[in-house]
Amino acid sequence: MIRPQPMIELRRLFRIFGDTRAVDDVSFEVNAGQVFGYIGPNGAGKTTSMRILATLDLPTFGDAFVDGFSVINDPDRVRRRLGFMPDDFGTYPYVNCAEYLDFYARAYGLVGRERHRALRHVMGFTGLDRMAEKPIRGLSKGMKQRLCLGRSMIHDPSVLILDEPAAGLDPRARIELRVMIRELAAGGKTVLVSSHILTELAEICDQIGIIEQGRLLATGSVADIQKQFAPHRQIRARVLDRVADVAQWLSQRDDVSDVRVDGELLRFSHEGNRLQEAALLKEMVQADFVVAEFASHEKSLEDVFLHVTQGYVQ
């Protein structure tokens, strides 16, 4: 069976600044029409790897490919296929939204009707048509992000690289952004989108990669990662007497970990299904512990993220 050619591929990518390994042996692939969420705390190396993909920087070792073209050997071909939305972008004074987009359309070599069509499409898609005459300096953060997204897709690239597009947006703008990204993917575009908040992207990503200190710690669908890193369920129990003894008793068991005591409350992770949970409760009662409450839930995405990353924030 021939595997489809990935639209984005990082192959053993390294980027070293002095003694900082900003990107440290990262490899992954994204297939056409997929949204890949690139998640990691600040300083993890997201921007650095995205800049390499956008041909703005060169890897120290390794290579990256967009639609099969190497960013090192054929940067111009990569550029034609790729739209890049950096995390912060400068604009020009005395230029309004329409002129800004028009300028980039020209810069990408679009002429005549083709350019008008592209402008109309992008302004419609991003909802900027009402803002066409507004100077960029006066736009809200959400509108600026839309403009920047519009700029990065003006030449109809098949791959979009969005660096923290949701940062600093209000909840409504964030939802609208998610809808736009999903729409782009539905239209066949491959999207690589980064964030330092997993939950922000979880529902729109086909795949995510968790990166920290330049290393890719996990890749896969959100469900896969949740399963892989959180086979445990979180249990909360209220015990009315001898709390320390209960904690002691629990921590001696193999299926229990991370026992934390908080007054009468006990929190711990339990490995096993719901039946085994019930059996555990029975055992606790039989051991004469006064259990007043017993509840369990799956670990949240944030729990997973905290579990995977070690919390080195720079």
Residue 43 interacts, among ligand ADP, Mg ion, other proteins, none and using kind-specific CB cut-offs from 5 to 8 Å, with ligand ADP
**Closest residue to bound Mg ion by CB:** 47
Which residue from 34, 47, 96, 219 is in contact with Mg ion, where contact means CB under 5 A? 47
Q: Are 167 and 142 in contact (CB under 8 A)?
A: no
The interface mask with ligand ADP, positions 5-44, x = CB under 6 A, is ------------x--x-x-----------------x-xxx
- What 71-80 contacts at long range (C-beta under 8 Å, 24+ apart), as own/partner pairs, is 78/53, 79/55, 80/155, 80/157
Residue 111 interacts, among Mg ion, ligand ADP, other proteins, none and using kind-specific CB cut-offs from 5 to 8 Å, with other proteins
74 forms part of the interface with other proteins (CB under 8 A): yes
104 forms part of the interface with other proteins (CB under 8 A): yes
Residues 6+ positions from 24 with CB-CB distance below 8 Å: 14, 45, 213, 214, 215
Q: Is the dihedral of CA 100, 105, 107, 113 positive or negative?
A: negative
- Distance in Å, CB of 16 to ligand ADP, minimum: 9
- Distance in Å, CB of 20 to ligand ADP, minimum: 5
What single DSSP character describes residue 260? E
Locate tokens 């700029």: which residue? Answer: 151
Q: Which is nearer to ligand ADP, 102 or 200 (CB)?
A: 200
Q: Which of 75, 41, 44 lies closest to 57, judged by CA?
A: 75
60 forms part of the interface with ligand ADP (CB under 6 A): no
141 forms part of the interface with other proteins (CB under 8 A): no
Q: Are 164 and 196 in contact (CB under 8 A)?
A: yes
Q: Which stretch binds other proteins (CB under 8 A): 110-118, 191-199, 214-222, 257-265?
A: 110-118
Q: Are 59 and 15 in contact (CB under 8 A)?
A: yes
Measured CA distances, 237 to 121, 241, 267, 280 (Å): 56, 12, 7, 11
55 forms part of the interface with other proteins (CB under 8 A): yes
CA Rg value for the chain: 24
- Distance in Å, CB of 40 to ligand ADP, minimum: 5
Where do contacts with ligand ADP occur on this chain (CB under 6 A)? 17, 20, 22, 40, 42-48, 314
